[in-house]
Amino acid sequence: MTKPNTGELDPKDTASHELRSYAVGFVISAVLTAIAFAAILSDLSTTLKIAIVCIAALLQVATHLRNFLHLSFSGNQSREDLLLVLFSTSLLAIMACGTLWILSDLHGRMHDSQPAHSAPDEHAP
């Protein structure tokens, strides 16, 4: 198998080690998903539900970065990995905020431009 982000073969890594990493990542992701669903279906307060789902989502992102993408923030590739994550996050934030901005502007244009109700015309038949 290869070292994370280098493409170099590492004789210490074996296919079983790689498979174990994927299996652990899958189990952790499944558990975090189940926790989020359980929180939503429970009788907890809305604020606590949102907090639990957000924490589970952040942990799931960290799990995916570590177990599936093999990003490591220690060692030779740490700076490149950090730049990759920051660039991807900034692109996603720009797209999400831009979409919300465009949709809110469109909503305002569609609903605020309707003419006000005028008084009925007395001379109409």
pLDDT in tens, 44-66: 999 999 999 999 999 999 899 88
Cα distance between residue 112 and residue 62, in whole Å: 43
Annotated domain spans of the chain: 1-71, 76-108
Cα distance between residue 76 and residue 54, in whole Å: 31
Q: pLDDT > 90: what percent of the chain?
A: 47
pTM score: 0.62
> Do 57 and 36 contact (CB within 8 A), yes or no?
yes
Cα distance between residue 70 and residue 82, in whole Å: 13
pLDDT for 78: 78
User: Is the predicted pLDDT of residue 116 greater than 80, yes or no?
Assistant: no
pLDDT in tens, 74-115: 777 778 888 888 899 999 999 999 999 999 999 988 887 655
- Looking up tokens 């952790």, which residue turns up? 28
Three-state helix/strand/coil letters over the chain: CECCCCCCECCCCCHHHHHHHHHHHHHHHHHHHHHHHHHHHCCCCHHHHHHHHHHHHHHHHHHHHHHHCCCCCCCCCHHHHHHHHHHHHHHHHHHHHHHHHHHHHHHHHHHHCCCCCCCCCCCCC
pLDDT in tens, 17-47: 888 889 999 999 999 999 999 999 999 999 9
